[in-house]
Amino acid sequence: MKRVLTLATLALTLALGAGHTLGATAQNLHIVSASGDQFWNYDFLSTQCCPPPNNVDWAFDLIFWNNATINKVKNGLENPYDQGGLCASGMNARLNDGTGWVWDSDSGKKTTCCPVTGSAYHFRVYADSDDRLYSTLFGYYVLGSTHIDHAECGSGSWFGYSEDAEAYLRQHVPSGWTVNANSYNLENNEPLRAEGNHIWQNNGYASKIRVP
Amino acid sequence: MKRRLLVLGLAVWAAVFLALATAVFAGSQPALPAPLSDPAEMIPSLSAADADRAGKLALAKVESLLGRLPVRLTDIGVWHTGTDYRVIGAVVEFSIDTPESLTAQWPTMNYDETESSTLLYTKDFAHYAATGVTKLVAFVDLGRGEVVQLTPGPGAVVTNEIDAPRLRSVPTGK
């Protein structure tokens, strides 16, 4: 009987899991301008207009620049970020590359698929329809957010610690890519705070990673 | 056996019904939450006295679970709900200068991410070993005066899952 109840609980959990989680609340959500381009400095749960601050997921903390595209970044970080697809849920960014506002969605890449214990490191990258943005400041660039999914499929889940996730990603860029840690102010500082099991931790400065 | 199958069948049908109902009534996108005029005003803060109390409770839990480790309290922040911004307690971070290998029956919670249940979380345990532990993260419920979760922080690697429940098989959407 206990096993049947466990299976029944799992079935119900799966059904409830198909619903959506709540958005988190940003303390410093606004539009950032960078040499003609504009973007909101967090990613969002949904693509409904005029984003409110309580509909966000994570603060942007990565700028891949010089000659970056979405695919080049994901391929370059394939080791250790080799999980994607159904293992990574999608979020949305609001961007303006100088020709009007557009949404981009990305589920990103992560290091482990839904761990029961331990941590998966997860990043998402965003650009417009040609998979890259352009500005005179960054050249061809894409924006990203990153966080940790701890015990996502087990007990004791927490999500966040973006600064630590950013440091982890910096350690895993391919040779030939150049890292400038915490070097561009995106004005989205988030001191340590837990909103449910969503742990905010972001110093407001994105790491710039030059992609050759 | 027949009764078990009947119960299981009912559960699966209930699960399918719930999933379909969610999709039908929620539409293709989740409903947008009511906008906040000023999030800085909505997000609660932690008083110095509460921060001090949370730090002491968390340290006592670390010592009772793991013995006298050379930990330093490095950060502390408010722990609050996401729907109505109620203070639950504090999130407390400890750092350890030299990476430790730790095995424990870690106290954990299963947080209701929809915040629609009567209980915000249920208490649980996960028994495992981790190496490279340089941070510990504690969730302190100040209403209960209790540490309801203490786990290794970023950077730790789990080496042996001794008894850890699998609660879902798909990502939660973070």
Q: Which helix (H) or strand (E) holds B150?
A: strand B146-152
Over residues B88-142, the pLDDT tens digits come to 999 999 999 999 999 999 999 999 999 999 899 999 999 999 999 999 999 999 9
pLDDT at A23: 86
Q: What is the mean pLDDT of chain B?
A: 84
Closest by CA position to B75, among listed A161, A115, A118: A161
pLDDT category at A50 given cuts 50, 70, 90 is low
Mean of the pLDDT values across residues A8-31? 61
> For residues B36 and A160, which has the higher predicted lDDT (pLDDT)?
A160
Phi, psi values for residue A181, rounded to 5°: -65, 135
Q: Which of B19, B78, B161 sits opposite A117 (nearest CB)?
A: B161
Over residues A76-88, the pLDDT tens digits come to 999 999 998 889 9
pLDDT category at B169 given cuts 50, 70, 90 is confident
User: CB distance A155–B77 less than 8 Å?
Assistant: no
Is the CB of A147 inside 8 Å of chain B's CB atoms? yes
User: CB distance A27–B170 less than 8 Å?
Assistant: no
pLDDT category at A54 given cuts 50, 70, 90 is confident
User: CB distance A197–B111 less than 8 Å?
Assistant: yes
Q: Is the ipTM of this complex over 0.95?
A: no
User: CB distance A15–B16 less than 8 Å?
Assistant: yes
DSSP string, chain A: -HHHHHHHHHHHHHHHHTS-PPPB--SS--EEEETTEEEESEEESS--SS--GGGEEEEEEEEEEEE--HHHHHHHTTTT--B-GGGS--EEEEEESSS-EEEEEE--EESSSS-SSSEEEEEEEE--TTS-EEETTTEEEEEEEEEEEESTTBSS-EEE-HHHHHHHHHTTPPTT-EEEEEEEE-S--EEEEEETTEEEEE-SEEEEEEE-
Mean of the pLDDT values across residues A185-193? 97
Nearest CA in chain A to B158: A118
pLDDT at A179: 98
Does the pLDDT value for residue A10 go beyond 60?
no
Over residues B71-89, the pLDDT tens digits come to 999 999 999 999 999 999 9
Closest by CA position to B136, among listed B108, B94, B167, B164: B94
Does the pLDDT value for residue A17 go beyond 80?
no
Does the pLDDT value for residue A7 go beyond 60?
no
Residue A171, token pair as written in the block: 């350690």
Is the CB of A115 inside 8 Å of chain B's CB atoms? yes
Give the relative orientation of helices B2-26 and A2-17 as an angle to the nearest 10 degrees. 10
Under DSSP, the state recorded for B32 is P
CA distance A149 to chain B (A): 7
B142 contacts A127 by C-beta, under 8 angstroms: no
d(Cα B50, Cα B138) in Å, to the nearest integer?
15
CA distance A212 to chain B (A): 29
- Which one of A13, A40, A43, A195 makes the best mutation probe of the B interface by having the most chain B beta carbons within 10 Å? A195
pLDDT category at A173 given cuts 50, 70, 90 is very high
Q: Which of B11, B35, B80 sits opposite A11 (nearest CB)?
A: B11
Nearest CA in chain A to B14: A12
